Structures are given as C-alpha cells and as structure tokens.
Structure 1
C-alpha cells in the first residue's frame, strides 16, 4: 500500500491510495472530489470516470503499467528495452519501453540509490502525454482482499487500508 501524488498531463494534482499485488493486480483509488478509479486485474486495466459515466478497458499488456505489474521486471529479456538511463547524485532513472512496441509508451522509474527504492515513476502514453506519480507512505508486503481488484469493488477508506500492505 502507498499514498501518492499524481500530476496529470494537464497539471492537475490528485492524491491517491495505491494497492499493488504483482503479478497483474493494482487499484488506484483517487481521493474525492476526483471521480476516477483505476483497477488492474484479469489481464485488463479498467479506467472508470463516474462523473462522466465512462469506463474504458485496455489489455494490460498494451499499457506502460503492464511493465510495472509483470511477474518480474526483467531488464535483460522479457521484451523490455532500456531506452534511457541517467545517474544523478543519490538517484537512478531508467526509462523502459517494450522492444516490440515502443510506440505504446514508456515507463520511467526513478530510484533512490542508498538504499535502493522506488521514489516515483512517469508514464508516457502513446500520445506523449505524461503522468507522474510520487510515492509516499509506502508499506511493503502483505496481501489484499482479491475483490479490491474487481471493477465493481466499492471504494475503500485509505485509513482502513482494505487489507495488509
């Protein structure tokens, strides 16, 4: 479980509670007043906007999030390619693309180097729109109620957690 700040391509800032269970399962519960919910499971990413009454399903393998939700992030195989690598004091930044479909977008991971841990990521979609996520309050380990990764799962109060994390 983690809390994060998301900066959308239009500059809008939203607070989000994230639950990630690899492989392939994720839930981003956006804080009110945002009407957004992002759920990954069963091979798809579901993006729901309750305000507009719209839901979009995309095969997880066709999104940059598919890289993050893979059973293992394999930089030496598995179809990934390191597009860019930058070292800064105390920081390592890797931009990953799928070798077969680099036009689908990229995922840039930024790590603190001592100790090595993920600080933030930027998803660049096929239209070159960037969304940046900055992590905080990260809790590793544990499992979640599988129903959290179903499209129709109810909202979960971030303070209650909805499972270990």
Structure 2
C-alpha cells in the first residue's frame, strides 16, 4: 500500500522573454486568482478518485482545512489513511500496521496546503483549450526531490475567488505519477480539528481508522 502515497516550476527567464506581454499579464492574473482561491478556501470536502501510474484506481473522501490539514479517507478497497496535521503528512497502512511520515513542505501537496506560498516564485501556468479551465504546475527548482504538482481549477461562480479545485497530478522524485480527480466539492463547511486525528496501528495490532 505504500506505493499509493501521494507522490513544486518556475519558467526560465529566456522563455518568459519570448512570451508576449499580454500573455505574461494574463498568466500573472491567473496565478493571482489561484493564490486568492487557496487563501479563501478555508475548508473543503469532496469525493476523490486516485489513479496511479499502473492504472489502478482507488476512491474515498477528502477533507481539507487550511492551513495544512488534509485527510484522505480511502474506501473499502484500501485499508489506508493519509492525514496532514499542518506540519507533516502521515500515511497509515492498517493492513501491515505501518506508519510513514514526511514534512508537508517536502511534498508536492505543499503547494495546496500552504495558502501563503508565493506561486509567482514556483508556479507556471499551463495553457488549456478551455478558457474556463486554469492549470498551474508548481515545483521548487532548488528542491527537485520534492516533486511536481499540476493543479487544475474550474472557473465557478460562488466558489472561493471564483474557482473550484478539480484535481491534480503529482509526480515524485522517482517519477511515480498519481492523479487525483475531485467531485461533489463543498466549501466553507464546518470541519472539526479532531477530523485529522488517527489511530496508531502499532499500538493496536487490529488498527482501526
């Protein structure tokens, strides 16, 4: 189950110089809108579908509370849980009673879970065919081992800053690709901090989520 872990890019100056000023301005405006969305999205719940590089799909419930808290509650097909507590991400595999933890800042998800992150330093807009769809690729060029995340947003009236997070693709340093698609997103719903608690299976061999 560890392979199901959720596996940030600044455009080179030469590339930016070749882009017309209007395109650069549009890109900056889009990054600003995405940043505004991430700051305004205090909480979100959604159903998610996760697909790995081999095509295997898992599904479950996503709960997010800024800053830094996230919970991937998988369905019956995977006795697995991933929880972020604001500082670290923890993956709990109840089938083998194993726990793995790593800093959020070392994960591609850091771009999503740190609303104060300056996307202008790490993000690059990816062109899409639909003007209502925004896609941003985020990586830390000084820390390639942190991986890359490409987030997709849909312009949606009434959503935070007029955007709805539709999903993302993350690629880790070993080129493991994970695709997350979201549905039934709800914003601003009450989420208690205890939602991000978890049971340590190493203390209870029958580990329950």
TM-score by length of 1: 0.83
Partner in structure 2 of residue 94 of structure 1: 136
Contact 1:21 1:143 in 2 (8 A): no
- Structure 1 residues 114 and 25: alpha-carbon distance in aligned structure 2, compared to 1, 3 A threshold: closer
Instruction: Report the Cα offset of residue 144 of structure 1.
Output: 1.6
Name 1:119's counterpart in structure 2.
Answer: 166
| Corresponding residue of 2:61 | 17
Measure, in 1, the Cα distance between the counterparts of 2:152 and 2:107: 19
Q: Provide the rounded CA distance (Å) in 2 between the counterparts of 1:73 and 1:136.
A: 25
- Quick one: distance in 2 between partners of 1:38 and 1:69? 14
Preserved contact between residue 59 and residue 75 of structure 2 (Cα < 8 Å): yes
Which structure exhibits the higher relative contact order, with contacts defined as CA atoms closer than 8 Å and separated by 6 or more residues? 2
1:85 aligns with 2:126: yes
Q: 1:38 aligns with which of 79, 82, 85?
A: 82
Bigger CA radius of gyration:
2
Aligned to 2:103: 59
Please give the secondary structure, in 1, of the residue aligned with 2:186: coil
After TM superposition, list the pairs within 5 Å mapping 1:82-161 onto structure 2.
82=124, 85-89=126-130, 90-113=132-155, 115=157, 116-152=163-199, 155=209
By percentage of residues, which structure has more strand?
Answer: 1
| Runs of 4+ in structure 1 over 4 Å off | none
Distance in 2 of aligned mates of 1:140 and 1:32: 25
Q: Give the RMSD, CA atoms, in angstroms.
A: 1.9
**What's the counterpart of residue 119 of structure 2?**
75
* Number of equivalent positions: 152
Quote the offset at 1:56 in angstroms. 0.3
CA distance in 2, matches of 1:152, 1:71: 28
Deviation, structure 1 residue 98: 1.8
- Compute the TM-score of the two structures, normalised by the length of structure 2: 0.66
Which consecutive unaligned segments of at least 5 residues does structure 2 have?
1-44, 158-162, 201-207
1:9 and 1:49 map into 2 onto residues whose CA distance is 20
CA distance in 2, matches of 1:135, 1:73: 22
Please state how far the C-alpha of 1:73 moved relative to its aligned partner: 4.4
